[in-house]
Amino acid sequence: MNHRRTTVVPETTAQRGGYFGRALVIDVTDGSTRVLPLPQQVLRDYIGGAGLGVWLMHHLAPAGVDPLGPAAPLAFVFSPLVGTPLTTSAKFAVVAKSPLTGFLTDALASSHFAIAGKLTGYDAIVVTGRAEVPSVLFVDGDTVTLENAAAEWGLSAADAEASVRERCGRSWRVASIGRAGERLVRFATVSHDGRHAGRGGLGAVLGSKNIKAVGVRAATKVAPADPSGVLAAAKELRAKSFGAATEKFRELGTLANLLAFNAISTLPTRNFQTATFEGVENLAAEELAELRGVTRSSCASCTIGCEHIYRRKGGKKVRMEYQNVVAVGPMCGVSDPDDVLEASARCDELGLDTISAGGTIAWAMECAERELIDAPWLRFGDGAAVLRALDEIVEGSTDLGRLLATGSKQAAQVVGGGSGDFAPHVKGLEMPGYEPRTLHAMALGLAVNARGADHNRTGAYEADLAGDLDRLDGGRAHALAAIETEDRAAVMDSLILCNFLRGVFDDHFAEWAQLLRLVTGWDVDAAELRATAERIVLAKRAFNLREGWTPADDWLPARLLENELTLPSGRVAGLTPARLRTMIDAYYDARGLDREGRPPVTS
Binding site for other proteins (CB under 8 A): 244-249, 251-252, 254-257, 259-261, 263-265, 285-286, 321-323, 433, 455, 459, 461-462, 464-468, 470-473, 499-500, 502-503, 567-572
- C-alpha–C-alpha distance, residues 534 and 524, integer Å: 15
Q: Which of 386/439 has CB closer to other proteins?
A: 439
CB of residue 321 to other proteins, shortest distance in Å: 7
CB of residue 212 to other proteins, shortest distance in Å: 30
- 165 vs 153, 330, 372, 456, CA distance in Å? 15, 37, 46, 31
Instruction: Tell me which amino acid residue 392 is.
Output: E
Contact 585, 591 (CB under 8 A): no
CB of residue 500 to other proteins, shortest distance in Å: 6
Contact 337, 288 (CB under 8 A): yes
Q: Which of 217/488 has CB closer to other proteins?
A: 488
Contact 317, 311 (CB under 8 A): yes
Q: Characterize 216-252 residue by residue with b for buried, 16 or more Cβ atoms within 10 angstroms of its Cβ, and e for exposed.
A: bbbbbebebbbeebbeebbeebbebbeeebbebbbeb
CB of residue 172 to other proteins, shortest distance in Å: 32
Q: Characterize 410-441 residue by residue with b for buried, 16 or more Cβ atoms within 10 angstroms of its Cβ, and e for exposed.
A: bbbeebeeebbebbbbbbbbbbbbbbbbbbbb
Q: Which of 151/245 has CB closer to other proteins?
A: 245
Q: Which of 284/545 has CB closer to other proteins?
A: 284
- C-alpha–C-alpha distance, residues 62 and 40, integer Å: 24
What count of residues does the chain have?
603
Q: Which of 83/452 has CB closer to other proteins?
A: 452
Q: Which of 383/459 has CB closer to other proteins?
A: 459
Contact 192, 109 (CB under 8 A): yes
3-state secondary structure of 344: helix
Q: Which of 225/567 has CB closer to other proteins?
A: 567
Q: Which of 37/568 has CB closer to other proteins?
A: 568
CB of residue 343 to other proteins, shortest distance in Å: 18
CB of residue 109 to other proteins, shortest distance in Å: 16
Q: Which of 333/432 has CB closer to other proteins?
A: 432
CB of residue 306 to other proteins, shortest distance in Å: 9
Within its chain, how far is the Cα of 530 from the centroid?
A: 22
- 590 vs 21, 174, 346, 467, CA distance in Å? 33, 42, 43, 22
Across the beta sheet with 307-311, what order do the strands follow?
A: 293-297, 307-311, 317-320
CB of residue 597 to other proteins, shortest distance in Å: 27
Beta bridge partners of 109: 92
CB of residue 503 to other proteins, shortest distance in Å: 5
Within its chain, how far is the Cα of 564 from the centroid?
A: 29
Q: Which residues contact 566 (CB under 8 A, 6 or more apart)?
A: 572, 573
CB of residue 246 to other proteins, shortest distance in Å: 7
Q: Which of 245/384 has CB closer to other proteins?
A: 245
